[in-house]
Amino acid sequence: MVELGTWSLTRAALIILLLPRSLEECGHISLPTSTVRLGDSITASCTISPNCSHLGPESQILWKLGTQLQLGERQQRLADGSQESTITLPPLNRPRDLLSCCLRWGNSVQILDQAELWAGHPPAAPHNLSCLMNLTTNSLICQWEPGPHNHLPTNFTLKSFKSRDNCQTQEDSILDCVPKDGDSHCSIPRKYLKLYRHMGIWVQAENALGTGKSPQLCLVPMDVVKLEPPTLWALAPSPEVAPPQPGCLLLRWELWKPSLYIEQKCELRHQPQLGEASWALVGPLLPETLQYELCGLLPSTAYALQMRCVRWPLPGQWSDWSPSLILTTAQQAPIVRLDTWWRQRQLDPRTVDVQLFWKPVPLDKYSGQIQGYLVRPPGQTGAVPALCNTTELSCTFHLPSEAREVVLVAYNTAGTSHPTPVVFLESRGPPLARLHTTARDPHSLWVGWEPPSPRPRGYVIAWGLGPPSPSSSNMTWKMEHNGNISGILLQENIRPFQLYEITVTPLYQDTVGPSQHIYAYSQEMAPSHTPELHLKHIGKTWAQLEWEPQAPELGKSPLTHYTIFWTNAQDQSFFTTLNASSHGLVLHGLEPASLYHVRLMASSKAGATNSTSLTLMTLALEESELHILLGLFGLLVLLICLCGASRFCCRPRKNPLWPSVPDPAHSSLGSWVPSIMVEEAFQLPSLRDPGMPPITKITVLEEEEKKPGPWESNDSSGTCGLPTLVQAYVLQGDPRTPSTQPQPPSSTNDQVFYGQVLGSPTGPGPGHYLRCDSTQPLLGGLTPSPKFYENLWFQNSPLGTPEPLVPNQEDDCVFGPLLDFPLLQGLQVHGVEGLGGI
């Protein structure tokens, strides 16, 4: 056999293949050997014929190994005129390479001849040789392992011979068996065999570097015969064969027909089809029986079964395992505990209707499958008809009023469970307190309570659809045997948007407590529809709406509020919110003859629902109302025009022939004071001089009545109103004493008491004045007298600091320095000779 290998850098032998000559057969490569081990060196020579037209007197021969160009070790001219170059290659480290003989011709290199180099190892000895006599193909099949790859084409040959003395001597040779390329097995046909004589068998591997042989195998073909596996069958039930016991299986098998004349034994193994259990081996089984009862298995469990056989007692090879046979063991009687609950209803004085519920609780994981349930009165046998024979988990039957007990059992083909007595106890225990529920999610409800005293031994919790369509057949219940719990999470048969009635009953020793009921939703939905809007009344700027509140719906969350939206023709939207008890609304502020779209939305905690849209149009204004509105608008415009005209006509104007007198309280008097005050100050005697006769009258220079100029203020917010003209200022009595004489009312032609001037004109100190908040105007002006704090410009007089005087508490006069008020400079003092005007 020829084996082609891959190229390797670690192990190989060298084979040199000569390529066809080129370049007019100028050059030729010669090699000393055709094989070289990997890592060995090789010497090559290249001879160039003298007839080569490319050969010049100075031509140089080059060598090329792969892609590397190198010079030869020696180049010489032979006697016949040819030239020869020799080279010793370095150790070869690749399984394949290309060697070229080249000639330098000008600036190029011309290839004259090439040789391909191969590398590899001698073949290793094959091992693990084994042979089996196959009765199906009637041939001896041998197989082996070829060993490591040697990178060289390798031939494998299965050699054998016949022998009589345990393969010590070779008698007859058997034709060599050559496998197909790449195969590691070969078959010797039956015609070359002697089934009961010894044979010597070995495998020989050969390549260019050597030969390898496997250890010789000596055997008798029938001693290595391999049978085909038997066929397994389940033993069908029959009158002659009793059904298997729980945990047992009955099976049979059929041997391979060509092996019927061979004595053999078999093995059986089994494994549960579900789970991770390992195979369990049973055997040896003698084939004469052809059937077997396998016991010790789990009840109601599926098993995979397999069988194999071997030639016995003579030597032989085990057959393969047969295909799996799946069988299920018989079930056993149910091993369960039946939790029960009941409801009773008195039909008449002698008969009670009982609805019994139960729930099986397996006590063993290998308990038999339940096929049905029986309810019987206690003490009755199977001959008496049962009260109930059902596959359901509930049953309804009638009992005499005096009956207090029944018996419940579960059954299957293997038998019945232990009887469960059901005692109808009277309700004499204490009830639960504060039963409450909470929705955890749409598919669960938490039920809680306060345990009574004494503590119960357990609870029965039952729940089902509540009114208006309760159904006992759809009721779900469970029994809790822990009496210390105070709540339970219900997750079975809970759906959203459904009303559930939940009942909790405490269980005591020899009695029960009264059942407590509560209704709950796991999730409520939004209102299914919204009340329909109706227009009750409508006006020009308002509309009255009403609706009929809907009755509460089961499964729907209660309404929390209403929201009314309305939109006008300009797509302007408005809304208002009302409480859930409202059933009407008046929309105000609407425009006459306008179209509106109104919509009602009912909201709850679970969502909101909109009603259909209501379209309405407000009433238009009447013709008489339009006339009234237009008339009122015209009157308003006329009134505005009249007010503007009167204000324009009555506006005070400035008299160009008479200068305006500035307001002493609201004008800047600094620029109005004559400049003579600083340069020509009057030397007046002090008013405090005792030799100075008292001044009995001060006469003010009279001015004609004039209207205030436009710059004068019309403010009349002063403390006193003033007359339009002041004629004179009168000083009576002692100037040091404030006057207490009441002043008579005066008109515009009377003298007005404006102020009292205190002090002596001959005294050393400056004079003082006592100003009064008169109700008469000064010099025809409308500005009230200034407060003492308003003439800030006059507070620091250059003539000295005023001497404070005590004002009279009976009048509204204020003391101050005489010359602090610049208007007094226009007064003339009569009655004293020699005095100048102040």
**pTM of the predicted structure, to 2 decimals:** 0.46
Helix (H) or strand (E) holding 337: strand 336-348
Measure the CA–CA gap between 763 and 313, rounded to whole angstroms: 171
Q: Residue 800 domain-assigned?
A: no
Shared-domain flag, residues 31 and 111: yes
| 368 found inside a domain | yes
Whole-angstrom distance, CA of residue 361 vs CA of residue 363? 6
pLDDT value of residue 715? 41
Whole-number percent of the chain with pLDDT over 70: 72
Q: Are residues 215 and 178 in the same domain?
A: yes
Instruction: Tell me, yes or no, whether 382 lies in a domain.
Output: yes
Question: Tens digits of per-residue pLDDT, 726-750?
Answer: 333 333 344 444 444 444 444 444 4
Closest CA to 187 of 177, 197, 195: 177
Report pLDDT for 688: 46
pLDDT for 410: 93
pLDDT score of 396 more than 60:
yes
Q: Higher-confidence residue: 150 or 789?
A: 150
Nearest 5°: the CA angle 341, 345, 351 is 115
pLDDT tier at 823, thresholds 50, 70, 90: low
Are 239 and 323 members of one domain?
A: yes
> Average of pLDDT values for 63-88?
84
Do 357 and 291 share a structural domain? no
427 secondary structure, DSSP code: B
* Domain assignment present for 763: no
For residue 646, report the phi and psi dihedrals to the nearest 5 degrees. Answer: -65, -40
Into how many domains does the chain fold? 6
* E-strand stretches of 749-812: 755-758, 761-762, 768-772
CATH number at residue 571: 2.60.40.10
Q: Are residues 20 and 111 in the same domain?
A: yes
Could you give the strand order of the β-sheet that contains 444-450, starting from the edge strand earlier in sequence?
A: 433-441, 444-450, 487-490
Q: What is the pLDDT of residue 798?
A: 41
What are the two backbone dihedrals, phi and then psi, of residue 580, each rounded to the nearest 5 degrees? -70, -15
Question: What pLDDT digit, counting tens, does each position of 683-713 carry?
Answer: 444 444 445 444 444 444 444 444 444 334 3
Give the per-residue pLDDT at 680.
42
What does the pLDDT look like over 112-136, one tens digit per residue? Answer: 888 888 888 888 999 999 998 888 8
End-to-end CA distance of the chain: give it in Å, rounded: 158
269 closest CA partner among 294, 244, 247:
294
E strand spans, 720-822: 755-758, 761-762, 768-772, 813-817
Is the domain of 516 the same as that of 547? no
pLDDT digits over 266-319, tens only? Answer: 999 999 988 788 899 987 887 777 778 888 888 888 999 999 998 888 888 898
Residue 29's pLDDT is 87
pLDDT band, residue 661 (cuts 50/70/90): low
Cβ–Cβ < 8 Å for 244, 329: yes
Query: Which residues lie below 8 Å from residue 508, measured CB to CB, with a gap of 6+?
Result: 429, 454, 456, 457
- The least confident of 526-535, 656-665, 808-817 is 808-817
pLDDT reading at 356 higher than 70: yes
| 788 in Cβ contact with 816 (< 8 Å) | yes
Per-residue pLDDT at 822 = 53
Q: Are residues 512 and 539 in the same domain?
A: no
Token pair recorded at residue 772 = 């009064």
Give the C-alpha separation, 552 to 499, whole Å.
13
Does the bond joining 468 to the residue before it have cis omega, within 30 degrees of 0?
yes
> Which ranges of 564-655 would DSSP assign to H, the alpha helix?
623-649
Tell me which of 101 and 471 has the higher pLDDT: 101
Q: How far apart are CA 111 and CA 117, in angstroms?
A: 17
Angle at 260 between CA 259 and CA 261, to 5 degrees: 90
Alpha-helix residue ranges (DSSP H) falling in 341-383: none
Looking at residue 634, its pLDDT comes to: 86
pLDDT of 85 > 60? The answer is yes
What does the DSSP assignment read for 70-121?
Answer: EE-SEEEE-TTS-EEEEEEEPPP-SSEEEEEEEEEETTEEEEEEEEEEE---
Instruction: Please tell me whether residues 539 and 517 are part of one structural domain.
Output: no
Question: What is the tens place of the pLDDT at every residue in 577-593?
Answer: 999 888 898 998 888 88
Distance between CA 544 and CA 540 in Å, rounded? 12
Rounded Cα distance between 793 and 812, Å, is: 23
Among the candidates 182, 197, 226, a domain finishes at 226
Residue 470 lies in a domain: yes
Element (H, E) at 679: helix 676-679
- Looking at residue 308, what is its pLDDT? 92
Per the domain annotation, does 716 fall within a domain? no
**Looking at the structure, do residues 416 and 462 belong to the same domain, yes or no?**
no
Lowest-confidence pick of 51-55, 568-572, 689-693, 796-800: 796-800
pLDDT in tens, 468-514: 666 556 788 888 989 899 999 999 888 888 888 999 999 998 889 99
Average pLDDT of the residues of the chain: 75
User: Is-contact 284 230, C-beta < 8 A?
Assistant: no
Residue 203 shares a structural domain with residue 140: yes
- Answer yes or no: is 629 within a domain: no
Residue range(s) defining the domain that contains residue 548: 534-618
Greatest CA separation for the chain: 193
Higher pLDDT, 51 or 684: 51
Beta strands 225-226; 127-134: pairing state: parallel
Tell me whether the omega of the peptide bond preceding residue 313 falls within 30 degrees of 0, making it cis: yes
Least trusted range by pLDDT, from 29-33, 211-215, 527-531, 535-539: 527-531
For range 349-361, the mean pLDDT: 90
Average confidence (pLDDT) over 29-48: 85
- Omega prior to 454 cis, within 30 of 0: yes
pLDDT confidence of residue 390: 92
Q: Looking at 468, 489, 521, which one is the last position of a domain?
A: 521
Question: Which residue has 């609201």 as its token pair?
Answer: 666
**Eight-state DSSP code of residue 258:** G
**Are 269 and 282 spatial neighbours (Cβ–Cβ below 8 Å)?**
yes
Most confidently modeled range among 504-518, 615-629, 640-654: 504-518
Domain edge (last residue) among 618, 644, 659: 618
- Claim to verify: residue 214 and residue 140 sit in the same structural domain: yes
pLDDT confidence tier of residue 325, bands split at 50, 70 and 90: very high
What is the rounded distance in angstroms from the CA atom of residue 27 to the CA atom of residue 101? Answer: 7
Residue 824 has pLDDT above 70, yes or no: no
Predicted pLDDT of residue 785: 52
- For residue 298, with 0-12 CB atoms within 10 Å meaning exposed, 13-18 middle and 19 or more buried, which class applies? middle
If asked whether residues 113 and 20 sit together in one domain, one would say: yes
Q: How confident is the model at residue 35, as a pLDDT?
A: 78
Token output for 507: 């269980």
The answer to whether residue 694 is domain-embedded is no
187-198 pLDDT, tens per residue? 999 888 888 888
